[in-house]
């Protein structure tokens, strides 16, 4: 059963590429005894698998990794960004079209937040896009109750401590004051749990609407609420170096059941991607 670690690829990476779960989640599945290779239940993720190995998750054969794909999804408020919710609330995956591959979300938007959520069938791509080292700015349009001034917003721009947790500097643009509410555009490179809401609350502004409008070069654009649209392979290649050709692996049985989405091909002038970063050799 033991193999030369220089051959093949780690079991967690293989399952992540096959869209089963992220590497970290796969490792937890292995610890729970849910993964077997060639008839033996794994106790540790320290195993490389090669062409011809039979991999089962929960007793079901795992499909060979498919080409990495990415979708834009316009998340409505009121949905949980989770495959399952312990409180029985509706999830993003409950509302996706029942077609094509199982997908995972790239990061999360909380229950009351809305806007752009990226979805992928590839756990390695998910991991890459979520890493702070990727350095992509995530922009939000934010409506908050209260009056904004440069002095009030200064801590957000300089970085601040909230509840003992350090928040990195954000870009904050004042859009307009509308009655008792202010509209802001806020950008950050790494998002902690409810970071924008907590930071604004700390300076006396209460968020009552939060819309993610972009994630790196990918834009919400005019995608309808609840709409799903696939990002073209050329964009993945140009922005991420992702090729559509799958690795040469032995075809296996169908993937375990899971959330599915419809494939849509955007037009050549799709508003979903900003190519401004391409001219500079890096994303927006």
Residues labelled as active-site residues: 110
* Neighbouring residues of 141: CB distance < 8 A, sequence distance ≥ 6: 115, 175, 183, 184, 185, 210, 211, 213
Rounded to whole angstroms, the Cα distance separating 119 from 228 reads 9
Cβ neighbourhood burial of 85 (10 Å; 0-12, 13-18, 19+): middle
DSSP 99-120: -S-B-EEES---TT-EEEEEEE
Rg of the chain over all Cα atoms, to the nearest angstrom: 21
Rounded to whole angstroms, the Cα distance separating 13 from 19 reads 10
- Torsion sign across C-alpha atoms 10, 22, 107, 217: positive
């Amino acid at each position: 059963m033991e193999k030369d670690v220089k051959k093949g690829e780690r079991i967690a990476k293989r399952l992540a590429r096959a869209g089963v779960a992220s590497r970290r989640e796969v490792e937890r599945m292995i610890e729970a005894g849910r993964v077997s290779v060639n008839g033996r239940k794994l106790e540790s993720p320290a195993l490389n698998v090669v062409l011809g190995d039979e991999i089962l998750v929960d007793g079901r054969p795992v499909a060979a990794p498919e080409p990495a794909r990415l979708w834009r999804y316009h998340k409505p408020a009121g949905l949980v960004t989770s495959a399952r919710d312990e409180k029985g609330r509706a999830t993003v995956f409950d509302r996706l079209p029942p077609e094509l591959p199982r997908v995972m979300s790239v990061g999360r938007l909380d229950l009351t937040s809305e806007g752009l959520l990226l979805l992928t069938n590839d756990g390695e791509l998910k991991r890459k896009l979520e890493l702070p080292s990727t350095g992509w700015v995530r922009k939000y349009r934010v409506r908050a109750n209260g009056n904004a001034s440069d002095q009030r917003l200064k801590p957000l721009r300089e970085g601040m401590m909230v509840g003992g947790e350090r928040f990195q500097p954000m870009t904050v643009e004042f859009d307009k004051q509308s009655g008792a509410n202010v509209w802001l555009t806020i950008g950050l490179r790494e998002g902690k749990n409810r970071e924008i809401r907590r930071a604004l609350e700390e300076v006396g502004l209460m968020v009552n609407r939060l819309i993610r409008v972009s994630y790196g070069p990918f834009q919400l654009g005019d995608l309808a609420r609840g709409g799903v649209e696939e990002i073209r392979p050329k964009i993945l290649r140009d922005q991420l170096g992702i090729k559509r050709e799958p690795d040469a692996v032995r075809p296996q049985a169908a993937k375990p059941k899971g959330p599915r989405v419809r494939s849509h091909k955007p037009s050549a002038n799709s508003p979903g991607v900003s190519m401004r970063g391409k001219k500079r050799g890096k994303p927006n």
